[in-house]
Amino acid sequence: MSEPITDREIATAMLQFGGSFISALGSAWMRADPMNGDRIAKAFPDFWEEYRELVQLHRNRAKASA
């Protein structure tokens, strides 16, 4: 069973692969305290899910090539 994807991984993916708005959300999450980080994630659930799926895709590709 795979490890759960963390919000930090999602925010990192947003910084690496997102456009200016998405990367700003990732940056804001990185700077936020836990309460405000949770607020950011809950305010943009569609983006959070999209980048969660991207992290999972990268994990699956890494496993396949290992």
Backbone φ and ψ of 10, nearest 5°: -65, -50
Give the pLDDT confidence score for residue 22 in this predicted structure: 98
Dump pLDDT digits (tens) for 11-32: 999 999 999 999 999 999 999 9
Residue 1 has what pLDDT? 64
Q: What pLDDT sits at residue 2? A: 75
- Kindly give the residue spans of alpha helices, DSSP state H, lying in the chain: 7-17, 20-31, 34-43, 45-65
